[in-house]
């Protein structure tokens, strides 16, 4: 067990120093292969020895038994171990490598018994451990044991000189006996091999000792020379600035090998300094006179930040100003995600998102039955379906069926634009949900929007009123927030499942409008920017025109604007004293009595009896108050319903009337034009004239709308009729806010806005909106009035008709005096202070070459200001 304290490596080295002659290899191999392959291999020399010792023990037992029978002869003890003949059976187990007879291979790790523990990943290492050639030679060249190991080994009695060891002798004797007996050849072989190994190890140790002695001598010599070297180096340093890196190559002819060896040993250890490293080639702007912090500061102040990607807004403005100093600017902000790169993403629980309307139940059939009229526009590519576009005014989106222009030419396709934007990025989409402080969720803009630009569609489930009531009673019974919007006579959009527009809050001073459009024959509601446009980051709001239906649903408005009405929806009307309901008078009486009995402050109520009475009285008071409020609400509702019915009827009649008027006028105009061209200028094929009508809004009462209208061809059929005069362009209604005189007055009608009756009845509606109904009413009036058509003098190019809209505008006097002109020129002269609205209803095309200025710019602006889109029924409603 002497090897127990020896590490495997040391054993390996020890074994590598074993001297085995080539002819003995077979014996050695046989001994190695004799060990069972499945048994646990020895992990160290000691283990191997233990295996051997076990065998020895067994043999010993046998031998003892034999010894008792046969006395040991002294000669046996001195029998030298003889090489055992090669065992043929073990030859078959030779490894492939060892079959190369030219080079003898020794695996030191196998010898050491540690090979099995070597993972294959240390293959390289394994190769290093495989020594080639004659073992003696290999050992000589490769093994230089450390002095420590040598010393340790030296302490072991393993040299041949120690052969007098009784154990050795015993082993030898046993081996000899075994050879004689020829029994248990494997065990004997093993023992013999072990003995031989030990002998070889002894040799190696002897050799190592010799080497070690040499090394010690060299070290001593070196230490002596080092002191000399230090002195010489000091001298050398003083004489030369740089010390030679190495002494190699400094040998002179007179150097003897010993001297050379000495010099090599004397070679001083010098530190090699890195001259270049990681930062080679990198320029560092560093002033060594300053500290690190000062250097950093200096660098920071010297740095000029340059934005090479986008021009800064400031420069952009400068550039634009340089280009055109007179152009108008408007404030702008960077897109929200640019100036705030990490917007808080609000996640709304329970919001089922729908991107488009879904008709539920009977709503679809109802819509089809009650399908609205179609509309067509006659814009030219130059017009581009601008502000004058008939479809735009009637809140119809242009498409292939009602507009001749291509999508690129047409500027009245807001919902198509929205569709495109929805496919784009977050900026294109342009809105996101935000969490407000006191109004729940809201919506804010992530970009700017032009005035009247479409922002987002209000889509959801389109349901009938019956279905709405059912949902209110059953589904949304416990809800506090409703997303119901009435947008058509009998239908409601329920955006509980719907688009993001459902989160848009109410404001009494809104920056957006909710407008109903007809797109491809279907109603669509969308949020449009108001006349001021929208800034990035602005919260989007519109006026709900909220109808609470019940006093329970009246909600406090927290829009925080200067003109806040205090509640969502119309301002509650103060009932006139005579109109005071019985409930109200009772209420006020009860209230007064309570205050008389118990005092105004509840603190006055002292006794429990009084307190009880007080509680009862206040309960009764609350009940009475509720009853009164409900009574009021019911009255308001019935009034509104009546007004709505009246308005709807008037609207329908007006529409029919307008069509009839258009027909009559256009046929008249065609005749006149044909006649005029025949008479005076037969070669001119296309003319353009404008018929305008000046009207003042809000002057006719709602009830004055005509009750019936003759059945006339629809506007769409007007185009067919116009084919008689193919070169004549159809007239289009246009709106202008600047008018002085108003021979015709039309009512201010917002037919579908139930919530607006309060204000409108009072006649204090300052809204500049022009509705289709108002247009139609004006048209009707126009037909009722005897229109003074005067013959068109096309030869007179200098006449007022030839130079665009502004030139066309005449005064009333002119119209009345000029009876011969067949085209109707109502007053179009304007005054900035006037609150009148001019509507240009019909226009007769003029020859293109005569057109100098269209004069649309001024009218276009005013149209937008007056709300070119026709605002239809937009109302949030709660029904309890
Ligand atoms: C169509 S939802 C608007 C989105 C809603 N804020 C939410 O969190 O879902 C209408 C509800 O919002 C609230 N709301 C909207 N505008 C408000 C305002 N100006 N003041 C108070 N509450 C408002 C009311 O509760 C109203 O019933």
Residue 170: how many CB atoms within 10 A of its CB?
16
pLDDT in tens, 608-654: 666 777 777 777 777 878 888 888 888 888 888 888 888 877 777 77
Percent of the chain clearing pLDDT 70 (strictly above): 41
pLDDT tens-place string over residues 784-830: 544 333 333 333 333 333 333 232 233 333 333 333 333 333 333 33
User: Which of 731, 736, 737, 741 shows the shortest CA–CA distance to 811?
Assistant: 741
User: 774 with 790, same domain?
Assistant: yes
**Cβ 345 vs Cβ 685: under 8 Å:** no
Angle at 389 between CA 383 and CA 390, to 5 degrees: 150
pLDDT in tens, 389-405: 999 999 999 998 899 99
One domain, residues 213 and 237: no
Cβ–Cβ under 8 Å, residues 60 and 67: no
Residue 473 is assigned to a structural domain of this protein = yes
Q: Which of 484, 431, 488, 490 is nearest to 461 (CA)?
A: 484
Pair 851, 702 in one domain? yes
Of ligand 1's listed atoms, the one at least distance from the Cα of 483 is 1
Confidence of residue 342 (pLDDT cuts 50, 70, 90): low
pLDDT in tens, 133-171: 655 565 565 554 555 555 455 455 444 444 456 666 777
Q: What is the pLDDT of residue 105?
A: 63
Nearest to 172 by CA among 146, 193, 143, 153: 193
Atom of ligand 1 nearest to the CA of 541: 16
Identify whether 615 is part of a domain: no
Q: How far apart are CA 815 and CA 787, in angstroms?
A: 9
Residue 509 sits in the same domain as residue 428: yes
Classify 691 as helix, strand or coil. strand
Whether 286 is in a domain gets the answer: no
Dist. CA 438 → ligand 1 center (Å): 9
Specify the length of the chain in residues: 880
Q: How far is the CA of 560 from the centre of ligand 1 (A)?
A: 13
User: Average pLDDT for residues 841-850, to the nearest whole number?
Assistant: 32
**Ligand 1 binding pocket includes 500 (Cβ within 6 Å):** no
- Domain-ending residue, one of 525, 543, 561: 543
Better-scored residue on pLDDT, 51 or 510:
510
CB 458 near ligand 1, within 6 Å: no
Closest residue by CA, ligand 1 atom 15? 505
Q: Are 712 and 665 in contact (CB under 8 A)?
A: no
pLDDT bucket at 554, cuts 50 / 70 / 90: confident
Domain boundary among 231, 266, 301: 266
d(CA 490, CA 359): 13
Same domain, 224 and 212: no
Same domain, 638 and 691: yes
Half-sphere exposure of 547 (CA within 13 A, CB side): 24
Residue 116 has what pLDDT?
A: 56
CA 724 and chain centroid, separation: 58
Q: Is the confidence metric ipTM above 0.95 for this complex?
A: yes
**Same domain for 123 and 227:** no
pLDDT, position 504: 95
187 and 235 inside one domain: no
Q: How far is the CA of 439 from the centre of ligand 1 (A)?
A: 5
- In which band, very low, low, confident or very high, does the pLDDT at 106 lie, cut at 50, 70 and 90? low
Determine contact, residues 781/791, Cβ cutoff 8 Å.
Answer: no
Indicate if the pLDDT at residue 65 is higher than 50: no
Least confident of 210-214, 465-469, 783-787, 803-807: 803-807
Residue identifier of the C-alpha nearest atom 26 of ligand 1: 481
d(C-alpha 824, C-alpha 690), whole Å: 7
pLDDT tens column, 748-758: 333 233 333 33
Lowest mean pLDDT among 45-49, 99-103, 608-612: 45-49
Tell me, yes or no, whether 38 and 102 share the same domain. Answer: yes
Which ranges of 303-413 does DSSP label H, i.e. alpha helix? 313-323, 336-339, 363-369, 390-393
Q: Which two tokens stand for residue 106?
A: 């020794």
The pLDDT of 546-572, averaged and rounded, is: 79
Above pLDDT 90, what percent of the chain?
Answer: 9
Asked if the model's pLDDT at residue 471 lies above 70, the reply is yes
Higher pLDDT, 339 or 545: 545
Highest-pLDDT range among 244-248, 371-375, 741-745, 812-816: 371-375
328 in any annotated domain: no
**φ, ψ for residue 612 (rounded to 5)?**
-65, -45
Cα separation, 164 vs 202, whole angstroms: 13
Q: Compute the distance from residue 514 Cα to the ligand 1 centre, in Å.
A: 15
Residue 557 Cβ < 6 Å to ligand 1? yes
Note the pLDDT of residue 337. 67
Domain boundary among 523, 543, 563: 543
Q: Is residue 261 included in any domain, yes or no?
A: yes
For residue 316 the two structure tokens come to 């952009």
pLDDT of residue 273: 80
Query: Is the Cβ atom of 553 under 6 angstroms away from ligand 1?
Result: no
Using a cut of 0.90, tell me whether the model's pTM lies above it.
Answer: no
Condensed to tens digits (0 to 9), the pLDDT of residues 227-257 reads 565 556 566 555 555 555 544 444 445 557 7
Query: Strand, helix or coil at 663?
Result: helix
Q: Determine whether the shortest distance from the Cβ of 496 to ligand 1 is under 6 A.
A: no
pLDDT for 510: 94
Does ligand 1 have an atom closer than 6 angstroms to the CB of 502?
A: yes
372: closest CA among 395, 338, 400, 344?
395
Domain match, 477 and 523 both: yes
Decide: 771 and 789 in contact? Cβ < 8 Å.
Answer: no
Is the residue at 798 inside a domain?
A: yes
Q: What integer best gives the mean pLDDT of the chain?
A: 62
- Which residue from 505, 875, 876, 878 has its CB within 8 A of the most atoms of ligand 1, so it is best to mutate? 505
Same domain, yes or no: 191 and 229: no
Ligand 1 contact, 431 CB (< 6 A): no
Same domain, yes or no: 181 and 236: no
How many A from CA of 483 to the centre of ligand 1? 9
Mean pLDDT of 535-543: 92
Asked if the model's pLDDT at residue 220 lies above 50, the reply is yes
- What residues does 512 pair with on adjacent strands? 529
Domain count, the chain: 4
**What is the phi-psi region of residue 336: left when phi exceeds 0, alpha when psi lies from -120 to 50, beta otherwise?**
alpha
* Strand pairing class (358-359; 461-464): parallel
483 touches ligand 1 (CB under 6 Å): yes
C-alpha–C-alpha distance, residues 837 and 580, integer Å: 39
What does the alpha-carbon distance between residue 467 and residue 360 come to, in Å, rounded to a whole number? 9
Residue 700 domain-assigned? Answer: yes
Task: Say how many Å lie between the CA of residue 559 and the centre of ligand 1.
Answer: 10
Pocket test for ligand 1, best of 436, 439, 492, 541 (most atoms within 8 A of CB): 439
Residue 580 lies in a domain: no
Q: Does the beta carbon of 875 lie inside 6 Å of ligand 1?
A: no
* Structural domain containing residue 21: 2-217
């Amino acid at each position: 067990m002497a090897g127990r304290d020896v590490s495997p490596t040391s054993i390996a080295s020890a074994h590598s120093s074993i001297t085995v002659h080539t002819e003995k290899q077979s014996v050695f191999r046989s001994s190695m292969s004799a060990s069972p392959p499945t048994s646990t291999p020895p992990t160290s020399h000691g283990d191997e020895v233990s295996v051997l010792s076990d065998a020895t023990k067994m043999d010993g037992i046998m031998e003892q038994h034999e010894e008792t029978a046969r006395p040991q002869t002294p000669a046996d003890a001195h029998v030298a171990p003889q090489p055992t003949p090669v065992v043929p059976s073990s030859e078959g187990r030779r490894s492939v490598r060892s079959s190369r007879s030219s080079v003898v291979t020794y695996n030191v790790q196998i010898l050491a018994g540690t090979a099995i523990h070597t993972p294959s990943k240390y293959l390289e290492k394994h190769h290093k451990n495989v020594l080639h050639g004659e073992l003696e030679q290999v050992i000589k060249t490769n093994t230089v044991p450390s002095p420590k190991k040598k010393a340790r080994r030296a302490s072991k009695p393993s040299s041949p000189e120690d052969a007098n060891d009784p154990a050795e002798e015993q082993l030898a004797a046993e081996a000899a006996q075994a050879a004689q007996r020829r029994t248990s050849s494997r065990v004997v072989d093993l023992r013999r091999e072990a003995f031989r190994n030990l002998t070889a190890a002894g040799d190696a140790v002897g050799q190592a000792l010799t080497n070690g002695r040499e090394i010690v001598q060299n070290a001593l010599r070196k230490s002596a020379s080092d002191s000399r070297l230090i002195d010489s180096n000091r001298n050398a340093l003083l004489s030369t600035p740089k010390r030679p890196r190495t002494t190699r190559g400094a040998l002179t002819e007179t150097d003897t090998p010993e001297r050379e060896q000495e010099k090599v040993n004397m070679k001083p250890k010098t530190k090699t300094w890195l001259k270049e490293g990681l930062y080679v080639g990198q320029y560092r702007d560093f002033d060594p006179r300053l500290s690190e912090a000062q250097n950093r500061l200096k660098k920071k102040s010297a740095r000029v930040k340059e934005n090479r990607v986008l021009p800064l807004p400031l420069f952009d403005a400068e550039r634009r100003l340089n280009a055109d100093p007179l152009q108008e600017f408007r404030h702008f902000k960077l897109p929200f995600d640019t100036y705030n790169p990490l917007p808080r993403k609000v996640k709304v629980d329970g919001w089922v998102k729908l991107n488009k309307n879904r008709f539920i139940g009977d709503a679809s059939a109802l819509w089809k039955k009650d399908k609205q009229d179609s509309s067509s526009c006659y814009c030219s590519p130059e017009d581009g379906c601008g502000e004058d576009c008939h479809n735009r005014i009637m809140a119809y989106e242009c498409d292939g069926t009602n507009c001749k222009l291509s999508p690129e030419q047409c500027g009245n396709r807001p919902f198509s634009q929205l569709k495109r934007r929805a496919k784009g990025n977050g900026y294109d989409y342009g809105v996101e949900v935000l969490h407000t402080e006191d109004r729940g969720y809201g919506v804010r803009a992530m970009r700017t929007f032009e005035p009247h630009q479409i922002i987002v569609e209000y889509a959801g489930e389109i349901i009938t009123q019956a279905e709405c009531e059912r949902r209110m009673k059953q589904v949304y019974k416990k809800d506090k927030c409703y997303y119901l919007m009435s947008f058509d006579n009998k239908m409601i959009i329920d955006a509980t499942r719907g688009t993001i527009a459902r989160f848009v809050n109410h404001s009494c001073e809104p920056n957006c409008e909710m407008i109903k459009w007809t797109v491809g024959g279907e109603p669509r509601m969308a949020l449009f920017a108001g006349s001021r446009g929208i800034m990035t980051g602005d919260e989007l709001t519109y006026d709900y025109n909220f109808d609470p239906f019940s006093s329970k649903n009246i909600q406090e408005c927290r829009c925080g604007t200067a003109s806040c009405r205090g509640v969502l929806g119309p301002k509650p009307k103060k009932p006139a004293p005579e109109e005071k309901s019985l409930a109200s008078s009772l209420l006020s009486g009860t209230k007064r009595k309570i205050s008389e009995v118990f005092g105004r402050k509840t603190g006055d109520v002292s006794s429990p009896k009084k307190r009880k009475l007080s509680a009862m009285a206040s309960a009764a008071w609350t009940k009475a108050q509720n009853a009164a409020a409900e009574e009021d609400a019911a009255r308001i509702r019935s009034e509104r319903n009546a007004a709505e019915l009246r308005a709807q009827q008037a609207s329908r009649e007006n529409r029919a009337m307008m069509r009839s008027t258009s027909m009559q006028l256009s046929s008249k105009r065609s005749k006149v034009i044909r006649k005029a061209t025949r008479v005076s200028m037969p070669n001119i094929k296309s003319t353009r004239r404008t018929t305008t009508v000046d009207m003042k809004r809000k002057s006719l009462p709602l009830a004055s709308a005509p009750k019936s209208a003759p059945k006339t061809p629809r506007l769409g059929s007007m185009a067919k009729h116009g084919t008689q005069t193919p070169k004549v362009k159809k007239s289009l209604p246009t709106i202008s806010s600047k008018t002085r005189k108003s021979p015709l007055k039309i009512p201010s009608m917002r037919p579908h806005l139930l919530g607006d009756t309060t204000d409108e009845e009072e006649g204090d509606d300052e809204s500049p909106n022009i509705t289709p109904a108002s247009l139609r009413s004006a048209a009707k009036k126009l037909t009722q009035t005897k229109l003074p058509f005067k013959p068109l003098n096309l030869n007179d190019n200098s006449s007022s008709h030839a130079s665009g809209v502004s030139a066309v505008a005449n005064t009333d006097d002119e119209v009345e005096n000029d009876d011969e002109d067949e085209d109707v020129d109502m007053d179009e002269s304007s005054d900035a202070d006037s609150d009148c609205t001019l509507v240009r209803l019909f226009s007769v095309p003029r020859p293109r070459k005569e057109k100098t200025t269209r004069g649309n710019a001024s009218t276009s602006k005013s149209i937008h200001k007056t709300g070119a889109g026709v605002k239809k029924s937009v109302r949030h409603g709660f029904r309890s």
